[in-house]
Structures are given as structure tokens and as C-alpha cells.
Amino acid sequence: FATPSSTMVHHDHRRFLLVIYPAQSHINPALQLAKRLISMGVHVTLLITLHMYRRMPNKPSIPGLSLLTYSDGYDAGFSVFTGGDEDYRLYASELKRRGSEFIDDLITFRAKEGEPFTCLIYSLLVPWAHEVARDLQLPTALLWIQAATVMSIVHRYFHGYETLISDKIKSKDEALTIPGLNLSLSACDVPTFLLVSPTNPVSFIFPVFEEQFQVLDKETNPIVLVNTFEALEPEALRAVDGINMIPIGPLIPSAFLDGTDPADTSFGGDILNATDDDYVEWLDSKAESSVVYVSFGSYHELTKKQTLEIARALLGCNRPFLWVIREKMIKVEGKKEEEELSCMEEILKRKGKIVKWCSQVKVLSHASVGCFVTHCGWNSTMESLVSGVPVVAFPQWSDQNTNAKLMEDAWKIGVRVNPKAINEEGIVEAEELRRCLDIVMGSGEKAKEVRKNAQKWKMLSREEGHRSSDKNLRAFVNG
Ligand code: UDX
């Protein structure tokens, strides 16, 4: 169990093992959690896959953090997009088998060495980590990296609401209310991984959610650490009986929260990818609140048709834009659109800036950014709130629909592309995106309202949110 990076000797008896699912959206909040735990005197060992470790252009060297790796059998990486549900099932079972063996040996070894772990925190999608810890009598907590609202909906689904929610998604008619949530949900607001169907591209993940909730059901009052804060989702945090949801977010680099550590801008999403390097200068050259920032997260692929419509909308709205198009982000099919896109390339580069990756937290905190066109991944959602940047919510799948609903209806920080405007091919056309951009970037009443609310949430997340979550985490550590 040699540690690739281990610094600072800790004399505190609290030693936490953090086991996370190998994805950007898990490691980002997990690293921030690790830093906060360390600042509270806890020694943290973070366990990641070898592939994830090798991918990191800058290895995190956080004093007090030990980074450990294990092989999930896919050291060259695994993409859910190249295989189908069956490939994912195989991947998930290898991850579980090898991960379980590794942590079983690790926990046992450390106990024998007289340096036992005192708690295991595991992120969503690795429920097997809890099972190993339970057998070894090690207390656990789940790190829920999505909204508390999503937790409540999924919990209901597995506790008597399965048919109701499935029927609602299929029938697409009147709204559904979930006990304890002050939200009226339409079909397009429910997490799409709950729709089990061969045509649903995200149903591969359903069995892992099912297993996760079975694991929670076996525990008495399980602890779930949620990357949210009290004022943001007060009802959702209390909507599930028998689960102790503790808000500990926003898990964002401290420099962006309170400015107490301005040097600490690291690991705000750029841990797994090298960032392009000249976008900050480009942003510096733009007027205040004039830039449209566009990003669909670390995961999602876009069709060429959809990319073309976004390009048209951005050119049509006549504002500078910074657009993240990751390598291999655009699906290969679509010859005709490819030609059109390559004809547009020059003009796109002249009017805006396209990068393969950037530090999103840095971009969102830049004064020239006026609006965030986002796929509404939960990390991006939290980052937009903390930065006070109004959004055009453009959800694609998974929990993003629910997050978009919260952004538009609960917190009122932006406008969502109208789900009814999605055409039969699943494409949002340029006119609809233009409409949303014109509202959010314009000077009308709606623009004023969303800007005001975005500022309100910026203050709340940094002050009340950060403070109360810090208190909660401290109580958990000392509890
Ligand atoms: C996935 C799911 O898609 C999402 O719905 C779920 O809530 C979490 O898991 P992902 O699509 O990667 O997440 O989105 P998100 O949660 O927003 O995480 C992306 C992270 O990458 C953010 O922290 C963002 O700051 C970072 N990022 C993205 C960058 O730092 N630079 C970029 O150029 C793009």
C-alpha cells in the first residue's frame, strides 16, 4: 500500500478513507471535502483508480492527503458511450470486485498496523465500499454528489412511487408532487435514469442506483453528506424519513467561496484535464458581463446537428462567447452538418473562443461572464450559484432535468430551454436557444430578476451556506 503522494505526519486519531467513483464529477467535490476534513485535523486517504491517477496532468499534492490507487481492470479507461448497457454492467462488476478486494485488504492492513481507519466515505455509484466497511465494522457515510431534491425523488421511486413516477414520465401529462418537496414535477423534470427503457441512453446506471438504495435501506439512520447547503434545499433535506441528510456544500475551492486562500484556485475541475491557456486573457479583453459561457460538463456528447444549432444561436445572438468543446465531445455521425460546421469554424473563432477545457470556476468568477449556458450537471449548478452568474439551463439527461427545474422555478436564476421545443430528433433549434439568451442577456424585467436572484444566491451560498455547512461537517467529524 505504497502511497504515491503522502505528506505531513498526522497525530490525530481520526483517519478517513474516501472511496470515489472514477469520474470528474465525483473527484471534484471529493477533493474539496478532503481539504476541509484535513483542515479539521482528519487524516484523509483518497482511493482512486489507476486510470484516473494517470490521467491527472497535475497530481494533487494537498498536505495531509494520501492518494492511493488500485486497478479496476480498465487501466486504459472505459467509456460508456462506446459500449452498451452490457459493457457497463461488466465494467461495474469488475470495479466492484477489484475495488472491494482492495479496500478489504487495505482496511485490514491498517488495523493490523495500529493505524486503523475510523470512517469510510464513499461517493454515489460505489455502494460496494459500504458493504466491505460494514463487514469490517467501520462506520460509513455516503457522499451524495447530486441535489438533495434528486435524492428525495429517487428514494421515493424505490419506496412505493416506482409505478407513479414511471407512468408520469411516459404519459407526459399533468404534474406530479412528491411528499416533502415543494415542487410540481412534469415528466421532463424527473431524473432520466429512473426511466428503464432500451432507448434510454442513461438507463445503464439504473442498477447501481438500485443497489445504492438497497444498501441504504439495510442501515439504521444512514448518514448522507450532501453537496448542497441548508438554505438552498431546506425541504428536500428533510423529505426522506430515516436518512440523515447532512448538507456540507458547496464543495467548491475555498478561493471562490470566501477569498481566504486566494492561492488555492487548484482542483476546481481541472484535475483530470489540462486546461487551454489563453482564455483568461481573452476574457480580460471583454466588457463586464458581456460573455456567454457554454459548457456541457465532462461527460456528455453532442450530436453534430445539436452542435450546429448551438453555433447558429451563438453567432445569431451577436455576443462574445467562450465555448468548451472537449476532445471527442461531438458524435461522429452527420456528414452534412460536419461540412456546415467546418464552414462556420473561421467565423466562430473570430466571434468567440472555443477551448477544449478550462477551469470553469475561474471562468465563472470572471467579471466579463454574463451568462452560463449549462447542461445543469450538479457541480456546474453549484458553481453557477456560487459565482452569481445567471444561466440558460440546457439539460441533457440524468439528474440535469431536475436541476434545470430548480434553477428556473425554485431559485429563479435563469431560463430553461423549453422542453416542448425539443424536436423529434431530440434537438433544440437555434431559435429557442437565441430566445433564452436574449432574455437572460437582455435588459428586460426577466433579465433583471434573474440577475438579482443570482446575486442573492451568490451571497447566501458563500456566507450562510458555507458557514452552516462547515458547522455541519465539523459536527460530523467530531460526532
Ligand atoms: C455528471 C452528470 O452528467 C451530472 O448530471 C451529475 O450531476 C454529476 O455527474 P458532469 O456532466 O461532468 O457530471 O457535470 P458536472 O457535475 O457539472 O461536473 C463537471 C465539472 O467539470 C464541473 O466541476 C466543472 O467545473 C468542470 N469543468 C467542466 C471544468 O472545470 N472545465 C470545463 O471546461 C468543463
pLDDT in tens, 180-203: 998 999 889 999 988 877 777 778
Cα of 171 vs centre of ligand 1, distance in Å, is 30
Q: Is the pLDDT of residue 5 over 60?
A: no
Cα of 28 vs centre of ligand 1, distance in Å, is 9
Cα of 315 vs centre of ligand 1, distance in Å, is 25
To the nearest whole percent, how much of the chain has pLDDT over 70?
94
Cα of 25 vs centre of ligand 1, distance in Å, is 5
Q: Is the pLDDT of residue 38 over 50?
A: yes
For residues 264 and 35, give the distance between their C-alpha atoms in angstroms, rounded to a whole number: 11
Query: How far from 44 is each of 1, 17, 33, 109, 355, CA to CA, in Å?
Result: 15, 6, 10, 16, 34
pLDDT, greater one: 427 or 271: 427
- Note the pTM of the prediction, 2 decimals: 0.94
- How does the average pLDDT of the chain come out, rounded? 90
pLDDT at 164: 83
Lowest mean pLDDT among 201-215, 285-299, 374-388: 201-215
CB count within 10 Å of CB 301 equals 18
pLDDT at 6: 41
For residues 158 and 152, give the distance between their C-alpha atoms in angstroms, rounded to a whole number: 10
Q: Which of 56, 358, 360, 386 to mutate to test the pocket of ligand 1 (most atoms within 8 A of CB)?
A: 360
Kindly give, in sequence order, each residue whose CB lies less than 8 Å from that of residue 286, ignoring residues fewer than 6 positions away.
320, 368
> How large is the ipTM?
0.99
Q: Looking at 11, 26, 155, 466, which residue is catalytic? A: 26
pLDDT at 1: 57
Q: Which of 283, 379, 405 to mutate to test the pocket of ligand 1 (most atoms within 8 A of CB)?
A: 379
pLDDT at 23: 92
Residue nearest to atom 2 of ligand 1 (CA): 377
**pLDDT digits over 8-27, tens only?**
444 568 999 999 999 989 99
pLDDT at 345: 83
HEC letters along the chain: CCCCECCCCCCCCCEEEEECCCCHHHHHHHHHHHHHHHHCCCEEEEEEEHHHHHHCCCCCCCCCEEEEEECCCCCCCCCCCCCCHHHHHHHHHHHHHHHHHHHHHHHHHHHHCCCCCCEEEEECCCHHHHHHHHHCCCCEEEEECCCHHHHHHHHHHHHHHHHHHHHHHHHCCCCEECCCCCCEECHHHCCHHHCCCCCCCCHHHHHHHHHHHHHHHCCCCCEEEECCCCCCCCCHHHCCCCCEEEECCCCCCHHHHCCCCCCCCCCCCCCCCCCCCCHHHHHHCCCCCCEEEEECCCCCCECHHHHHHHHHHHHHHCCCEEEECCCCCECCCCHHHHHHHHHHHHHHHHHCEEECCCCHHHHHCCCCEEEEEECCCHHHHHHHHHHCCCEEECCCCCCHHHHHHHHHHHCCCEEECCHHHECCCCCECHHHHHHHHHHHHCCCHHHHHHHHHHHHHHHHHHHHHHHHHHHHHHHHHHC
- pLDDT bucket at 56, cuts 50 / 70 / 90: confident
pLDDT at 197: 76
Supply 409's cell numbers: 422555478
For residues 212 and 210, give the distance between their C-alpha atoms in angstroms, rounded to a whole number: 5
Query: How far from 250 is each of 320, 387, 434, 464, CA to CA, in Å?
Result: 29, 11, 31, 11
Q: Which of 380, 382, 400, 401 to mutate to test the pocket of ligand 1 (most atoms within 8 A of CB)?
A: 380
Q: Which of 141-150, 155-164, 320-329 has the highest mean pLDDT?
A: 141-150
Q: Which amino acid would we find at residue 282?
A: W
Helices 127-135 and 85-112 cross at an angle (nearest 10°) of 30
Residue nearest to atom 21 of ligand 1 (CA): 269
Q: Which residues surround ligand 1 with Cβ inside 6 Å?
A: 24-25, 28, 145-146, 269-270, 295, 297-300, 324, 357-361, 377-380, 383, 398-400
Q: Is the pLDDT of residue 277 over 80?
A: no
Residue nearest to atom 4 of ligand 1 (CA): 377
Q: Which amino acid would we find at residue 309?
A: E
Supply 334's cell numbers: 452527420
Q: Is the pLDDT of residue 220 over 50?
A: yes
| 398 contacts 289 by C-beta, under 8 angstroms | no
Cα of 297 vs centre of ligand 1, distance in Å, is 4
pLDDT at 9: 44
Supply 433's cell numbers: 436557444
- pLDDT bucket at 2, cuts 50 / 70 / 90: very low
Q: Which of 20, 24, 266 to mutate to test the pocket of ligand 1 (most atoms within 8 A of CB)?
A: 24
The DSSP bridge partners found for residue 54 are: none
Cα of 444 vs centre of ligand 1, distance in Å, is 30
Q: Is the pLDDT of residue 81 over 90?
A: no
Atom of ligand 1 lying closest to residue 150 CA: 7
Residue nearest to atom 19 of ligand 1 (CA): 297
pLDDT at 85: 80
Atom of ligand 1 lying closest to residue 326 CA: 33
pLDDT at 115: 95
Atom of ligand 1 lying closest to residue 357 CA: 33
Helices 445-460 and 378-387 cross at an angle (nearest 10°) of 100
For residues 394 and 412, give the distance between their C-alpha atoms in angstroms, rounded to a whole number: 15
- Say how many CA atoms lie within 13 Å of 149 toward its Cβ: 25
pLDDT at 37: 96
- Say how many CA atoms lie within 13 Å of 251 toward its Cβ: 29
pLDDT at 4: 41
pLDDT at 8: 43
For residues 404 and 185, give the distance between their C-alpha atoms in angstroms, rounded to a whole number: 11
Q: Is the pLDDT of residue 380 over 90?
A: yes
Residue nearest to atom 9 of ligand 1 (CA): 25
To the nearest whole percent, how much of the chain has pLDDT over 90?
70
For residues 156 and 285, give the distance between their C-alpha atoms in angstroms, rounded to a whole number: 49
pLDDT at 347: 85
| 31 contacts 267 by C-beta, under 8 angstroms | yes
Cα of 377 vs centre of ligand 1, distance in Å, is 6
**pLDDT digits over 127-141, tens only?**
999 999 999 999 999
Atom of ligand 1 lying closest to residue 378 CA: 7
> What is the residue whose three cell numbers read 460509513?
140
pLDDT at 341: 81
Omega before 222 within 30 of 0, i.e. cis: no
- pLDDT bucket at 392, cuts 50 / 70 / 90: very high
26 is catalytic: yes
Cα of 163 vs centre of ligand 1, distance in Å, is 30
pLDDT, greater one: 331 or 413: 413
Q: Is the pLDDT of residue 261 over 60?
A: no
